Structure 1
Amino acid sequence: MSLSLGTLASSVIQPRRASLILAAMATGLLVLPGLLDVRTVPIRRQAESPPAPTPAPAAPAVATAPAASQPTPGPEAAPLPSPAERPQLWLMTSVFDHGYLQLEVLPQDSALPDHGPATTGENDGGRAYLAPLLPTAAPAWRGIIGQLVVTDSGCQARVTSLALVARLTGDAAYAGLSHDFTPDDLRDQGGRMIAARLDGCAHDRYAHPAAAPVLRPEPLVRPALARAARRAMLASPTTTAAIAKWTEAALAGTWQEQVRWSEQVLRHPRTKATWVLSHAHLSPEDCGTPTFSLLGVFRVGDDGALTEASITELEDLLTIDAIVDVDGDGQFELLGTPWLGLDRVLTRSDGTELDRLSLPFYGCPC
Structure 2
Amino acid sequence: MSNPLRSELMRAWAGAAVARGLLLLALFAGSAHGEPVTRRSASPSTFHFVVSADDTSYLVLADVEKGADLPPHGPLRLTGEESLPSVIAEVSEAHLPADLRAWSKRKVVVDERCHATVSGFALVVRLVGRPDYAGINDSEWTADTVFSAGQKVLAARLDRCKGTFARAASAAPIRVARPAVNEEAVAAARADFLASEVIVQARKEQAEGGVTGALEQVYAPHVVTVRHPTTGETWISLHLRLGEAGCGDPQANVWGLYRVTARGVERTRLRLLAPQQTLDALLDVDGDGQFELLIQDDFGFSRELRSGEDKVIRRVTMPIYECLC
Q: Which residue of 1 aligns with 2:233?
A: 273
1:302 aligns with 2:262: yes
Q: Tell me: CA distance 1:320–1:353, structure 2 relative to 1, closer, same or farther (3 Å).
A: same
1:252 to 204, 209, 212: 212
Please list the CA deviations of residues 83-108 of structure 1 after superposition, one character each: whole Å capped at 9, or x if unmatched: xxx97121111111211011112225
Give me the whole-angstrom Cα distance separating, in 2, the residues matched to 1:115 and 1:161.
12
> Is residue 124–residue 155 contact of structure 2 (8 Å, CA) maintained in 1?
yes
Q: Which residue of 2 aligns with 1:112?
A: 70
1:198 to 148, 154, 158: 158
SS in 1 for 2:176: coil
Give me the whole-angstrom Cα distance separating, in 2, the residues matched to 1:154 and 1:283.
36
Q: Report matched runs for 1:5-24 at 5 Å.
A: none
Q: Which residue of 2 aligns with 1:148?
A: 107
Most deviating of 313-322 and 114-123: 313-322
Q: Report matched runs for 1:96-111 at 5 Å.
A: 96-107=54-65, 111=69
- Identity rate of aligned residues, in percent? 32
Q: Which residue of 2 aligns with 1:127?
A: 85
SS in 2 for 1:364: coil
2:133 to 165, 174, 177: 174
Please list the CA deviations of residues 257-293 of structure 1 after superposition, one character each: whole Å capped at 9, or x if unmatched: 3775122222211222222222222364321122222
Give me the whole-angstrom Cα distance separating, in 2, the residues matched to 1:322 and 1:353.
15
In structure 1, the gaps of 5 or more residues are 1-85
> Is residue 83–residue 129 contact of structure 2 (8 Å, CA) maintained in 1?
no
The Cα shift of 1:131 comes to 0.8
Q: Which residue of 2 aligns with 1:332?
A: 291
1:218 to 173, 178, 202: 178
Q: Tell me: CA distance 1:297–1:199, structure 2 relative to 1, closer, same or farther (3 Å).
A: same
Please list the CA deviations of residues 48-74 of structure 1 after superposition, one character each: whole Å capped at 9, or x if unmatched: xxxxxxxxxxxxxxxxxxxxxxxxxxx
> Is residue 53–residue 80 contact of structure 2 (8 Å, CA) maintained in 1?
no
Give me the whole-angstrom Cα distance separating, in 1, the residues matched to 2:251 and 2:215.
10
Q: Which residue of 2 aligns with 1:62?
A: none
Question: In the alignment, residue 89 of structure 1 is paired with which amino acid?
Answer: F
1:94 to 34, 52, 63: 52
TM-score of the two chains, using structure 2 as the length reference:
0.78
Give me the whole-angstrom Cα distance separating, in 2, the residues matched to 1:327 and 1:153.
14
SS in 2 for 1:263: strand
Give me the whole-angstrom Cα distance separating, in 1, the residues matched to 2:195 and 2:84.
43
Looking at secondary structure, tell me which structure has more strand per residue.
2
Q: Which residue of 1 aligns with 2:272?
A: 313
Count of matched residue pairs: 280
Give me the whole-angstrom Cα distance separating, in 2, the residues matched to 1:124 and 1:325.
38
Please list the CA deviations of residues 142-181 of structure 1 after superposition, one character each: whole Å capped at 9, or x if unmatched: 1111211111272211112221110112111111111132
Looking at secondary structure, tell me which structure has more helix per residue.
2
Give me the whole-angstrom Cα distance separating, in 1, the residues matched to 2:243 and 2:79.
32
Please list the CA deviations of residues 224-259 of structure 1 after superposition, one character each: whole Å capped at 9, or x if unmatched: 111111111111112222223312322234342377
SS in 2 for 1:107: coil
Most deviating of 211-220 and 117-126: 117-126
The Cα shift of 1:336 comes to 2.8
Question: In the alignment, residue 118 of structure 2 is paired with which amino acid?
Answer: V
SS in 1 for 2:89: strand
Most deviating of 312-321 and 158-167: 312-321
Q: Choose 1 or 2 for highest CA Rg.
A: 1
Give me the whole-angstrom Cα distance separating, in 1, the residues matched to 2:113 and 2:214.
42
> Is residue 190–residue 360 contact of structure 1 (8 Å, CA) maintained in 2?
yes
In structure 2, the gaps of 5 or more residues are 1-43
Give me the whole-angstrom Cα distance separating, in 2, the residues matched to 1:144 and 1:271.
32
TM-score of the two chains, using structure 1 as the length reference:
0.70
